[in-house]
Amino acid sequence: MGIRTDLAIEARELCQKDKNGEIPGVKIEEYNDGDIKISNVRIIDEIGEKTMGKSIGTYITIELPEFAHYDSYSMEDVSKVLCNELRLITKLEDSMTAMVVGLGNWNVTPDALGPKVVSKIMVTRHLKQLVPDSIDEGIRPVCTIAPGVLGITGIETLEIVKGIVEKIKPNLIICVDALASRKMERVNNTIQIGNTGISPGSGVGNKRMEISERTLGVPVIAVGVPTVVDAATMANDTIDLVIDEMANQASSGSEFYNMLKSINRKEKQKMIEEILPPSVGNLMVTPKEVDMVIDSLSKIISSGINMALQPALNLDEINKYLN
């Protein structure tokens, strides 16, 4: 039935492995850049696609070092890793126009990451068109849009993006979005880059409205960060942990142990649904300093994207241009 999570790294953890500890149809590579851990998960065929619940393609995960949000040097390191990975996953030629799309709802702090990132992108397309002499030749034309969400505009995000793409015909789209994680320790600490597009507003989403090369005819790179855990997911996972812990503590083979072991996923899910009030579906779990963290993340990601799109400039030159 597939695994519902935004993150390939989580899908991988939840998947059945074969006897070699591998997932059929999935290639995994892990490496470090300083204290930043990078995973590269490639889903290479339909078996991998079905097992992981994610489209064939590449998913790169960057794990932020501790305190990255509080340290400008560390933030810059992460931006550089993001820049490198973006350059590897895209094939950008100098003349190509890029469009950066900031998905999400600017009125809900943890969902505002996309709009915040695009507000810090170096926008140049209009200058290249209107005053080409005033701007260095090596600078790539870049434009941005924050299309809002269905509840704000009454228009599917894909319709907005597609309408604009057909007018301005960019060569590459980079979508930035806030994701949901299943694990609290991943929130705000993981950047996922993928080349299979993105479905606004859902873990799995419907294919019809996904923002991808398939629907837009232009390569789409998705950059996402988990910024919340659903309260229901958190309750769910807590219960799993408790049952496992109780089983650990019970003597193996006892009635209690067997009972605990016999509680299957479906029964637990049913129990949770009976216990938790329906309003919990509307709750989210975030860190208390969520405003500060989203601000810091939007700087890290916009710097990474700006550097990837403007190889002729260094970060200082970009920042000077932006202010």
Instruction: Give min distance, CB of 212 to a copy of itself, in A.
Output: 17
Site string for a copy of itself, 206-235 (x = CB under 8 A): -------------------------x--xx
253-254-257-259 Cα dihedral, nearest 10 degrees:
110
The encoded tokens of residue 218 equal 């232009």
Q: Any bridge partners for residue 15, and if so which? A: none
Closer to a copy of itself at the Cβ: 146 or 198? Answer: 146
Instruction: Give min distance, CB of 69 to a copy of itself, in A.
Output: 7
The encoded tokens of residue 40 equal 């590269």
Residues 260-299 that bind a copy of itself (CB under 8 A): 271-272, 274-277, 279-280, 282-292, 296
CA 186 to chain centre: 11
For the chain, the first-to-last Cα distance in angstroms comes to 49
Contact region for a copy of itself (CB under 8 A) — 14-22, 84-92, 118-126, 174-182?
118-126
Residues 175-204 that bind a copy of itself (CB under 8 A): 184-185
215 three-state secondary structure: helix
Site residue total, a copy of itself (CB under 8 A): 78
Closer to a copy of itself at the Cβ: 23 or 161? Answer: 161
Opening angle at CA 295, ends 109 and 319, nearest 5: 145
Instruction: Give min distance, CB of 236 to a copy of itself, in A.
Output: 9
Q: Are the C-beta atoms of 95 and 312 separated by less than 8 Å?
A: no
Opening angle at CA 218, ends 213 and 223, nearest 5: 65
Contact region for a copy of itself (CB under 8 A) — 3-11, 52-60, 76-84, 105-113?
105-113
Instruction: Give min distance, CB of 306 to a copy of itself, in A.
Output: 13
